[in-house]
Chains A and B, each alone.
Chain A
Amino acid sequence: AQKVTQAQTEISVVEKEDVTLDCVYETRDTTYYLFWYKQPPSGELVFLIRRNSFDEQNEISGRYSWNFQKSTSSFNFTITASQVVDSAVYFCALSEFESGGSYIPTFGRGTSLIVHP
């Protein structure tokens, strides 16, 4: 079973529409970390946000907002008033403590967002 599920493979919207990217995770740990990354066509993943398991406060950064709900094991990402430059693949990731003494991240399959002008 996947630890991080991004059920939406591809989303296509028209500029200025709002769009939500879903992320559902699975873990038995009480301490864990969640991340979102953006991968534009250039290929380089760029960090967007992280959340630890003890902080369920939602966050807004400009047109981006994140909704973390432990009750449903979800960490969804909303882009308001989407723009063409938002077109990219977005990855959700979960970081858990491994027995070897390090945190190993697990990535979802990614959601490809296409914003049409």
Chain B
Amino acid sequence: ETGVTQTPRHLVMGMTNKKSLKCEQHLGHNAMYWYKQSAKKPLELMFVYSLEERVENNSVPSRFSPECPNSSHLFLHLHTLQPEDSALYLCASSQARAGDNEQFFGPGTRLTVL
């Protein structure tokens, strides 16, 4: 595997389900990000982990819970979601603490909440 991978690529869940999104980066980076991209909104930064510590939360609802067990893996745990949470969830990685480093994105997980 190379770059940034995300699983699953597609997920359909009910409002009472609990699921998790997984992201893995094979680039040796030490910062990872979760973004939400919905049809009519810009990319929304949800969480940032730099050197495995959460840096920014951006007031995301508590039904989204991130986990970063090491610098290569990032999870987004989902529970009791709402239909408006349906979106493309993108994971990205970069070298932290150096602003000129570009982000590398995964292909995203298309989430549908019924």
Where the two chains meet, the residues of A that have a C-beta atom closer than 8 Å to any C-beta of B are 31-33, 35, 37, 42-47, 50, 52, 91, 95-98, 100-110
Contacts and interface: CB of A to CB of B under 8 A. Distances in A.
B42 A47 contact: no
B48 interface: yes
28 contacts: A35-B102, A37-B103, A43-B90, A44-B107, A44-B108, A45-B90, A45-B92, A46-B105, A47-B102, A47-B104, A50-B100, A96-B99, A98-B55, A101-B55, A102-B31, A102-B48, A102-B50, A103-B96, A103-B97, A103-B98, A104-B45, A104-B48, A104-B55, A104-B56, A105-B103, A109-B42, A110-B42, A110-B43
Contacts of B107: 42-44
Contacts, number: 68
B88 interface: yes
Given A100-B55, A102-B31, A108-B42, A44 B100 contact: no
What's the interface size class on B, roughly?
A: 20 to 34
Contacts of B43: 91, 107, 110
A48 to B, nearest CB: 9
Contacts of B108: 43-44
Please provide the 10 A-B residue pairs with the shortest distance between their CB atoms, ordered closest to farther: A103-B99, A47-B102, A109-B42, A45-B105, A107-B43, A95-B99, A44-B107, A43-B108, A33-B99, A102-B50
Nearest to B43: A107
Interface in B58-97: 88, 90, 92, 96-97
Nearest to B56: A104
Given A37-B103, A52-B100, A102-B97, 19 more contacts: A32-B99, A33-B99, A35-B102, A42-B107, A43-B88, A43-B108, A43-B110, A45-B105, A46-B105, A91-B43, A96-B99, A97-B99, A102-B31, A102-B55, A103-B96, A103-B97, A103-B98, A103-B101, A108-B42
